[in-house]
Structure 1
């Protein structure tokens, strides 16, 4: 099954690094679980609000530079937060990134504060 990004998801990719956009576009064609982009580039005010709300732990997010995106799994058109869905989406992101030779980090593999919806370009290659 092949999915497509909605206009809303495409709009949320504005300001995101072109290499990450290419990975997102490849991942949506490859994934077994549909997803939408919930957030790409953030401004410092939004980031500070997320830290205050406990949804983020850093004021130095990769979202501030357009090097990160968050996604939400879609099942029958509804957003779902079931952890296994994000592992399946991550498989599509990681396979696409490997194929494109674009180093990518998945927040679901972090040892502290695992973040399944979060994907970012590797800091070592994209400072």
Structure 2
């Protein structure tokens, strides 16, 4: 059990996110070995278009648009260690453990290649977690 908890800002960023995904995030923060923050939850089409134009996303059909996805980032001394995939892996481990405990199916952008994505959709998106399409259409 960790001593971490979600900040008020992280909770605010989950407004509009599916309740099942919120449960996973809230449980994961209790289990994680690395503190993390919610950096983005539900998005507007305009926000998605901005990110698409910047190349930060590969789709305009994101699960963020429906509240079925969140982006989480590890926090080390108040900073996001973008280059340290091991920290993102630690967050993913907590998320998958929490999801299994709660019997909620999720996918992680850090292992798209293992989740049946087509070649044009394969890219590392370490912050991204979403409810599966099959379980949550």
TM-score by length of 1: 0.98
d(CA) in 2 for partners of 1:78, 1:46: 23
- Alignment-derived partner of residue 39 in structure 1: 40
Structure 1 position 120 matched with structure 2 position 130: yes
Deviations 1:54-110 (A, max 9, x none): 000100000000000001110122222111101111000000000000001011011
d(CA) in 1 for partners of 2:5, 2:64: 23
Selected match of 1:108 from 107, 110, 122 = 110
Structure 2 residue runs without a partner (length 5+):
114-121
Partner SS, residue 88 of structure 2: helix
RMSD (Å), alpha carbons: 0.7
TM-score by length of 2: 0.91
What is the number of residues matched between the two proteins? 127
Partner SS, residue 79 of structure 1: coil
